[in-house]
Structure 1
Amino acid sequence: MTHAQHPGSLTPLEKALALLLDGLAPVAPRPIPLATAQGGVVAENVALRHRLPLYDMAVVDGWALSAYDLVGASSYAPVMLAVSPAWVDAGDRMPEGCDCVLDTAQVETAGAMVHVLAEALPGQGVRRAGGDLKEGQSVLQAGEPLRAIDMMVARTAGLDTVPVRRPRMTIVTVPSATGDAVTAHMIAEEARHGGADITVIPAPGRDAASIAAVLKDVTCDLLLTVGGTGAGRSDAAISALTEQGAQLAHSLAVQPGRTAAVGQLNGSPVIALPGAPDQALAVWWTLGRPALDHLAGRSARRTLTLPLARKISSGPGVADVVLLQQADDHWMPLAIGDLSLQHLAQADAWLAVPGDSEGHAAGTPCAAYLLRDC
């Protein structure tokens, strides 16, 4: 059972984040094989060494021709060619002197006679040399995570490795009363999607000694514990961290997630997450994700700004996490400070109402972080 705390006794969210990021620098980049680089954050701009394509290339199957030779051609006035044109498949290099491709319906052949039944524009059915990417053009942007489409561009450009920042993140899981680890799995997937290399270590027990035994051997860029942060008789994560020398701010002014703690352990940032999924997510979104993004050198995450469909009311002194669903061109608040699994499944975005605000009136434009951002 947790005890209610006055907002004045809680660590403000902004102060908690500052403590977490104090002295923190992005991890060193390293070349990662392209096959395993997806999701990692690009460490530096990667420029193309040569143009793509290297030469004029057919993008459709058909007859390679010169548009100049076809001026005035129509089904009523076909243009007769003295020389039979070359056939090209999509992806073939265009023959010398040809700048367009016509399909079979526009060209008739009868023995050695070839009639063209339509005009064409220069470049029709053709991708010009350098039409995809220019030499020296950046194909990967520093600070951006590698998406599937970025991987395709990199492969097309002939890249074998990519300079990526991959923070090492360790999650120490405190056994739950039910024996499951759904919260830890969820956070691990969130962090993996954010570009981290993840190690999950289960503590052998819920007591401080069992948790501390695992913590003393951990070396990583970001440490998370999941579970055991409350005031229950078997909650010992905070005691274990303190025994190992962690400098912590415990009890945060964020709802849900007040029992969480943040700080430093052996020079690395540490976050103690509650075991409940909604509380862990709220703290992860507001503190864990910014810390991981900072370590990865990631650019600011994109938000979508829409007006509120109805008012959001928030208590003073505590940052309330709000789940939102997009309804036409508005944000519809689903839940404020109490995030059920149903609302988590339905939500399209989230935002945090600052502790010094009492909420937002209906119609207020609000920037929210997308939960379904692909």
Structure 2
Amino acid sequence: MSRTQPSNGTLTSLESALAELLDGLAPVALTSMPLLQARGRIAAEMAALASPLPERTRAVIDGWALRSLDLAGASLYSPVPLMNSPVWVEAGDALPDGCDCVLDADLVECTGPIAQAFTDAIPGQGIRRAGEDIAAGRPAIIAGRPLLAVDLLAARAAGFMSVAVHSPNVRLIDVAASDDNLLTAELIAELMQAAGARVSVETAARDARSITDTLDAHPCDLIVTVGGTGFGRSDVTSEALTMCGALIAHGIALRPGRTAAIGKLGALPIISLPGAPDQALAAYQTLVQPVLDRLTGRTGRSGTVLPLARKISSAVGIAEIALVRQQQFTWLPLGVGDLSLDHIRMADAWLLIAGDSEGYAAGTPVEAFSLRAA
């Protein structure tokens, strides 16, 4: 693996940097997690259901369990006498043998010598057949997707108390700023937790030796540092990566986020993000998020394709991040390259303009990825 030394003049393409990080990377080992703690984690493969849900046909309303064939022709003006006495069931009760529907209480009269129905019914009315929720052989949890409340509902219905997940252990190292500002570190920690990672936050002093000592401290699946990646005299994060033989590239052809650095300690990926929120956010979305997707086994991440409300211009040779807001059925550009906090808080999504592109004309369909997804 080649190592690119930091340089103000030479930038590594975003595609090359990401390829280096993903090379040889695989999902972390699965772990079992209680359902109460599993929301937002990325589901791993689990055994298929041995039994269907529900296991037996059940009523979904309170009423009379009947056989639909016995109700043919029944109406308010021409009630049909019932040869077999109806059985009262509550919602959730298993249906008696031979019954295939449930009628509301006021549609059956049982006070006379012979019960009678005032309406007909179709098979399946008022009931849920065995296997209608989830068939036997189907997974209770769909692997590769974030576990949302509805996924946990299905797991509970199937009787699970825990689920298998891929949840990488990420160490976030905040390279202390002179003003002790934690805004960016807190942003990145929250983003990684939302992506399904277990995040521990540490602080390193703003000198190369302290950073190097912190890098070697504890085993994990990914190290992300925040701050100290620039080319100023107090920016020593890339020097620390060089000292421990980890540096692959310092300076990515990305705007914002040009001063980001990447490295590996053996097979352990390291991503060093700039300290400014907009630069860190851009490098997070383009470098950290794809690595987390690989480590968690997440699949099927896709954006929303809409036409641009107006033109976006971009310089050739450097990938640029644009923030957009949905306006009716279009993406309205808010900012490109230089992103203010106002842009960030108002944006619905972000999109990447490739380094070989001059941008997009108004009306061009583009894919943008949500900044507000759970």
**How many Å separate the matches in 2 of 1:187 and 1:246?**
22
SS at match of 2:228: coil
SS at match of 1:16: helix
Q: 2:152 corresponds to which letter in structure 1?
A: M
Partner of residue 188, structure 1:
189
**Per-residue deviation, 1:40:** 2.4
What TM-score does the superposition give when structure 1 sets the normalisation length? Answer: 0.93
Q: 2:192 corresponds to which letter in structure 1?
A: A
Structure 1 unaligned segments of length 5 or more: list them.
none
- 1:315-326 equivalences in 2 (<5 Å): 315-326=315-326
Q: 2:307–2:362: 8 Å Cα contact kept in structure 1?
A: yes
Name the count of aligned residue pairs: 368
- 1:321-336 equivalences in 2 (<5 Å): 321-336=321-336
Task: Say yes or no: does 1:359 pair with 2:359.
Answer: yes
SS at match of 1:242: helix
Q: 1:46–1:141: 8 Å Cα contact kept in structure 2?
A: no
Partner of residue 111, structure 2:
110
Partner of residue 59, structure 1:
60
Q: Which whole-Å deviations, capped at 9, do the CAs of 1:213-233 have from their partners, x for residues lacking one?
A: 322213211101111111233
Compare 278-287 and 157-166 and name the one that shifted more: 157-166
**4+ residue stretches of structure 1 with deviation over 6 A?**
none
SS at match of 1:110: coil
**How many Å separate the matches in 1 of 2:259 and 2:325?**
27
**Per-residue deviation, 1:317:** 1.0
Task: Say yes or no: does 1:239 pair with 2:251.
Answer: no
Partner of residue 135, structure 1:
136
SS at match of 2:20: helix
What TM-score does the superposition give when structure 2 sets the normalisation length? Answer: 0.93
**How many Å separate the matches in 2 of 1:115 and 1:297?**
58
Structure 2 unaligned segments of length 5 or more: list them.
1-6
Task: Say yes or no: does 1:212 pair with 2:212.
Answer: yes
Partner of residue 4, structure 2:
none
**Per-residue deviation, 1:113:** 4.7
Q: 1:183–1:276: 8 Å Cα contact kept in structure 2?
A: yes
**How many Å separate the matches in 2 of 1:175 and 1:64?**
69
Partner of residue 348, structure 1:
348
Partner of residue 124, structure 1:
125
Partner of residue 155, structure 1:
156
Q: 1:176 corresponds to which letter in structure 2?
A: A
**Per-residue deviation, 1:69:** 1.3
**Per-residue deviation, 1:112:** 4.6
**How many Å separate the matches in 1 of 2:113 and 2:210?**
88
**How many Å separate the matches in 2 of 1:128 and 1:250?**
60
- 1:1-374 equivalences in 2 (<5 Å): 9-44=10-45, 46-110=47-111, 112-203=113-204, 205-374=205-374
**How many Å separate the matches in 2 of 1:261 and 1:245?**
13
**Per-residue deviation, 1:84:** 4.0
Q: 1:346 corresponds to which letter in structure 2?
A: M
Counting aligned pairs with the same residue, the percent is: 52
